Structure 1
Amino acid sequence: MSRFTSFFRPALAAGLLAALALPACQTRPAEGESASTGGAEGEAAAARPAPVDTIQLQRLAMRRDSLKADSIAKKNGQLPGAILPGHRIVAFYGNIRSKGMGILGREPKEQMFRKFAGVLKEWQAADPSIPVQPALHNVTITAQGTPGKDGKWRLMNSKATIEEVISWAREHKCILFLDVQPGHSTLQVEVPKLEQYLKQPDIHLGIDPEFSLSTMPGIRPNQRIGTLDAKDINWTINYLARIVSENKLPPKVLTVHRFTRKMVTNYKSIKLDPRVQVVMHMDGHGDPTLKKDSYKDYIVAEPVQYTGFKLFYEYDARPKPHHIMTPSEVIALKPSPLYVQYQ
C-alpha cells in the first residue's frame, strides 16, 4: 500500500476562537430591577465570557477543511493517498462467520485467499494499465430475519470478529470495507458504531439500501427492497469527511449498493466531498445481458462519481449457458468500473 500523506492541520485560527468567545451583550434590566447587580459577584458575572459554541466551532472547522480539500483536489486531481481513480479495487465480499453470505466466509481462509490471488492476477493481466488494489468487504452490521430486543432487525459483528477480519486484510495487504445493512435502524445510528475502525487509514465503508427499511414499518428484510435517499448518503459522506479531517487520513471510499432505481432516491442531490470517494455499485445477479442493462439503467444513467460492478459465484452462472463475466467483459463496460466485487 502507498504511504499516506496528511494534508489537514488541527489548529483553528485564533480569530475564530476569539470570535466565538466574545462576552455576551448586556440586556435591558427587567421592570423593578436595578440596572446593576453590584458587588464582586456582579462584576465577575459581567467579566465572564459566553460559553464557546463547540458545535458551531466544529462546523466551521469542517467548512475550512472542505474548502482546503477542494483546493488541493482541483490542483492535483485528487487528495494525497486517494485510491481512485489510480487503482481498480477488486474485493471478496461476505462475512467471515457465515458460509451463506459470500465467498469471504464460504471457504476455509487459506483456500479462499489462494482463489483470491488467482482472481487478482486475472484482473491485472486483463488491464495492466491500472494497478489492482485488493480488498475484503465484510458485512459487519447485518439485517436479520428476527427483530431482536429493540425491534431493529439487525445485528453487529462482535469486536473479536471485526478484529479478525482486520487482521486477515492486513496479513494479505488488502484494504477493508465494513458494510452496513441497517434493517429498521438508520445509518445515523449504526455507522457511528464503527468509528473506532473507520479512524484507521486502510478501513472504508459500504452501505446497503436493499436492507434499509426504516421507512417501511412492519416489513421484514428480504420481503421488500429497501431504500436510501440522497440525504442519508450525504450524511454518511459528511460523517466520513469529518473522520478524515480529524485524523489526518487519506480519502475514504464509500460504496453504495444498487440494482433498482428506487434503492437510491434524489441522486442529483448527492453532494460530493474530495475526502470521500463515492462508488455507486451495481449489485444485481443473473444473465450477463441483464447485468449490463442494470448497470446502464441504474448506475450509468444516474451518475454520481465512480462505478462498481458485482459478480456472483453462485448465481451468475445459473442456469447454463449463463456465465460469470470475465475481467475483460467487465472492463469493456462504459464507464469501466473501478470497484469490482465477488460474492
Structure 2
Amino acid sequence: MRKLIFPLVLILLFGFIACKGRSDSSAKSADTPPFSTLENIEKEDIKNQKPVDQAEYNDLLNYIANGDTTGLWPVQNQPLPLEGAVLPYHRVVAYYGNLYSKNMGVLGEYPPEEMWSRLLKETEAWEQADPKTPVVPAIHYIAVVAQGTPWSDGKYRYRMPQQQIDSALAIAKMHDALVFLDVQVGLSTVELEIPQLEKYLLMPHVHLGIDPEFSMKDGTPPGKKIGTLDAEDINFCSAYLAELVQDYNLPPKILIVHRFTKGMVTHYKNIKLSPEVQIVINMDGFGRPELKYSTYNRFIHPEPIQFTGFKLFYKNDTKESPNHLLTPEELMKLQPRPVYLQFQ
C-alpha cells in the first residue's frame, strides 16, 4: 500500500541545488531577507474585523458535506471565520512545485505562460463542474525543501532564497492568484521554520502549507520513512498565523496540512480552530482511482478537522492503464467535497 501511495522521493533530496551553485552562506542569508515592500507595515486595530454571516456559512458547510450521514461532516461548533475568508465561499485550485526542479511538480515543469494556460483550464473545469462555488487559482510553492544530506546545520532542509520565492509571487501575480508557501522541515521544526517566512505571510494573499511526510522527529533522514506532525505542531502554525491576522488586520489565512497515512497527523482531536485560520487536510496520496478514494475515506473523512483537499498527480496517477486523472465531476461525489485541489 505504501509503495503505491507514497509520493515520489524528491529529486531535490540528492542535489539539484548543487547545480544552482548553492553555498551554506546562501542558506544563512535566507534567514532574514530584506522585504522592502513590507518595511512600513504597521499593526492595525482588530476592531474592524467581523465574522461572516452564520446562516450563509452553515449552508455552504452543508453543501460541502454533500449529504454525509456519519455525523462527522460538516464539522460542528467550529468558529465563524472573519470577513474575507476564502473558504468555503470559493474553491482553490493550485499548481504545486518548486522552480528549481521539473521533478517536484508541474509548477517548475513549464514556463509561466504555459503553466498558466494549463492551470486556467483546470479552474475552468471546476467552475463548470460546480457553478455554485467560484474558483480561485493558486501557486503552491515549496519554500523549505527536505534534503537527503544534513548541510552545515544538520537540519536536512534547505530554505529557498528570497529571489526564488519572489519569482513564485511574480508568477502568481500574473493572474492575481493566491500563494501557498510549503514547508518540509526535515530535522528542523515548524517553530524554527515558519517565522523565517513571516514577512511573506504578512501579505494578504499568501498562505501556508506544512508537510508531515518530511518532518522527521526521530532523526531519520527525509525520504527514508514517512514523517509526522502532531496537533501541537499544527496548533503552533495556526496560532502563529492567527496572531499575524489579529495584529495586522489581515483576512483569514489558510493552513494546508498534507496527509496520506494515519500516522502523518497525530492527536487530531487536539487541533484548535480559530476565526483567523482555516485548516485544510489535503489528501496527498497517488495511484489508481480506487486507491486514492480509499486513502481519502480511511485517513481524511474519519478524522474531521475543518476542510478537506485532494491532490492529483499528472504522472503518477496515470502511469498504468486504465488509470486516469480523476475529474472534477468524480471528485464532486466525495463526502465531503474538497475545497482545495492541488496538481503536481
Contact 1:73-1:274 at 8 Å conserved across structures: no
Give CA-to-partner distance per residue, 1:204-233, whole Å, 9 cap, x none: 0000000001x212x111100000000010
In 1, the alpha carbon distance for the partners of 2:140 and 2:331 equals 19
Q: Cα RMSD over matched residues?
A: 1.7
Partner of 1:95: 98
Equivalent positions of 1:139-288 (< 5 A) are 139-213=142-216, 215-217=217-219, 219-288=220-289
Partner of 2:65: none
Whichever residue aligns with residue 154 of structure 1, its letter is R
TM-fit CA distance, 1:88: 0.5
Whichever residue aligns with residue 133 of structure 1, its letter is V
2:124 is the alignment partner of 1:121: yes
Give CA-to-partner distance per residue, 1:135-168, whole Å, 9 cap, x none: 0100000001111000000001111011111111
TM-score, scaled relative to structure 2 = 0.78
Contact 1:267-1:302 at 8 Å conserved across structures: yes
In 1, the alpha carbon distance for the partners of 2:111 and 2:148 equals 26
Whichever residue aligns with residue 302 of structure 2, its letter is A
In 2, the alpha carbon distance for the partners of 1:148 and 1:263 equals 25
In 2, the alpha carbon distance for the partners of 1:68 and 1:203 equals 21
Percent of paired sites with the same residue: 48
Partner of 2:39: none
In 2, the alpha carbon distance for the partners of 1:232 and 1:115 equals 34
Whichever residue aligns with residue 216 of structure 1, its letter is D
Which has the bigger relative contact order, CA under 8 A and spacing at least 6?
2
Whichever residue aligns with residue 245 of structure 1, its letter is Q
TM-fit CA distance, 1:72: 2.8
Partner of 1:316: 317
TM-fit CA distance, 1:307: 0.3
2:58 is the alignment partner of 1:79: no
Q: Give every structure 1 segment of 4 or more consecutive aligned residues whose post-TM-superposition deviation is greater than 2 Å.
A: 71-78
Whichever residue aligns with residue 121 of structure 1, its letter is E
Partner of 1:335: 336
Structure 2 unaligned blocks of 5 or more: 1-42, 58-80
Whichever residue aligns with residue 130 of structure 2, its letter is D
Whichever residue aligns with residue 206 of structure 1, its letter is G
Whichever residue aligns with residue 153 of structure 2, its letter is D
Partner of 2:290: 289
Give CA-to-partner distance per residue, 1:67-108, whole Å, 9 cap, x none: 997x83575743111000000000000012211100000122
3-state DSSP of counterpart to 2:309: strand
3-state DSSP of counterpart to 1:237: helix
Structure 1 unaligned blocks of 5 or more: 1-8, 12-64
